[in-house]
A and B are shown apart, each in its own frame.
Chain A
Amino acid sequence: MACDLWRDKIAAYADAELPSEEMRAMAGHLRGCASCTADLLGRVQLKRAVANAGNRFTPSIDLRERIQKGLPPKEKSFSPWAWMPKLAVAAAFMAIAFLLFREWPVGRQGQTFAELADLHVATLASANPVDVVSSDRHTVKPWFQGKLPFTFNLPELAGTPFTLEGGRVSYLGQAPGAQLIFRIAKHRISVFIFQDRPAFRFSPGDSRSRRATFNVETWAEQDLRYIFMGDADPSDVHKLSELLKAVTRP
């Protein structure tokens, strides 16, 4: 397929709106096409800029309280039966609150994932994706000494389908962390390691999901947050996660 045909789908790809088959096909094309990857990067950056700029206005506490009381606006008349509709309103309000909590997607958490997806895409699009280029864990791990306020362990990959390509210092919410690139077949997986913070809004336990077409897995151990992200098969992402977990958990 010519680039023009792929290009028509890049916006939907950036919005994670293509069917899964086309998502995979597009990911395959992007791996070999610098022009489309650059186009995608621009679109992801625009989305990110809008997301950052768009969260701008905060409601007042007073407004929150008014609405939480469930009072309809500008209702000033009083009747002896006023408690009855209010009771109904309160019941409906409870039902809405229940739905809100049940259906509310992980919006802010989604932003953290979006930032990580940006980092992953930008790294893969870069001519120099890693600052320390080595498949040797005893070279890559010491390279981070003095660059990060923490340390981490890397697994022995001999006998596994994974290859370590290297690493770089990355930033999430202005905090430094490690970004390691692993390869499996033709897929590359970013492993991000940051000091865990409530602001990241991750759930406390392990979680596996699909975000912006990437397969993602995350867990925390010893105050560090590990996030695995890539277009590889979810089972491969999980295998890599388990390898890291084995050398991390006591």
Chain B
Amino acid sequence: MPLFDSLYNFAQWLTHDREEAEDLVQETYSKALKGFPSFQQGTNFRAWMYRILRNTFLTSRTGLKSSMTVSLDSEEGESVQPTTMETPESLLLDRGNRQMVQQAIEELPLIFREVILLCDVEEMSYQEIAETISIPVGTVMSRLARARNALRVGLTRKMQGD
């Protein structure tokens, strides 16, 4: 059951709570089993499962509290900031500070956290992410750019606080 580990990992990143994550994953499988006849063969099964998990989370009390804390205005026009040789990420990698990256991801608003985790941890394509969180591919790209910029800012702040 390989997808199980990834779904659980994603669930705990969303909920920040072990018990809630367990309930969320269990409910996801339960809904998937009940709704399996509605799954269209040939469409993306992974995106379908993650969409169930995400929608279930968003309708939970924790999900309602943590969603939509960032303005979604002008997502399409996000500029892409270039990185430099002295990037926080290269410094972090040098130091091997995994915990600091985890804290910086944790502090991201939900809409940034989910998109960056789906892309970089779950290795989903832009199209898969678009299907999972039900937004256009262009919005996935701009939201990813904003998420990564926010992560860089967070990492830089953490390193300056060293």
Contact = CB atoms under 8 A, between A and B. Distances in A.
| Interface residue SS majority, chain A | helix
A175 interface: no
Interface string B105-126: 1000000000011011111011
Contact of A11 (B26, B123, B145): B145
B148 interface: yes
Interface in B79-106: 80, 82-85, 87, 89-90, 92-93, 98-99, 101-102, 105
B26 A70 contact: no
A64 B4 contact: yes
A53 B102 contact: yes
Interface string A1-26: 00000011011100101000000000
A45 B89 contact: yes
Interface stretch (A93-101, A159-167, A227-235, A242-250): A93-101
B53 interface: no
Contacts of A157: none
Contacts of B82: 7, 10, 39
Interface size class of B (residues with CB under 8 A): 35 or more
A103 interface: yes
Given A42-B87, A72-B33, A51 B121 contact: yes
B15 to A, nearest CB: 10
Contacts of A10: 80, 82
A119 B41 CA distance: 38
Contact of B2 (A15, A70, A93, A104): A104
A58 B33 contact: no
Interface string A83-99: 00000010011011101
B93 A63 contact: no
Contact of B119 (A15, A92, A96, A99): A15
Nearest to A67: B29
22 contacts: A38-B85, A42-B85, A42-B90, A45-B87, A50-B120, A50-B151, A51-B120, A53-B101, A54-B9, A54-B117, A54-B121, A56-B9, A56-B12, A57-B9, A59-B8, A59-B22, A63-B8, A68-B1, A100-B2, A100-B45, A105-B46, A107-B6
A110 B123 contact: yes
Interface of A: 7-8, 10-12, 15, 17, 38-39, 41-43, 45-60, 63-64, 66-68, 70, 72-73, 89, 92-93, 95-97, 99-101, 103-105, 107, 110
Pairs of residues from A and B, 4 with the lowest C-beta to C-beta distance, nearest first: A42-B83, A54-B121, A53-B101, A59-B8
B12 A67 contact: no
B3 A100 contact: yes
Contacts of A8: 80
Nearest to B26: A73
Contacts of B1: 64, 67-68, 97, 100
Given A15-B144, A42-B84, A45-B89, 6 more contacts: A11-B145, A17-B126, A42-B85, A42-B89, A89-B34, A105-B46
Contacts of A41: 83, 85, 90
Contacts of B76: none
B141 interface: yes
Contacts of A55: 9, 121
Contacts of B119: 15, 47
A60 B22 contact: yes
Interface string B55-88: 0000000000000000000000000101111010
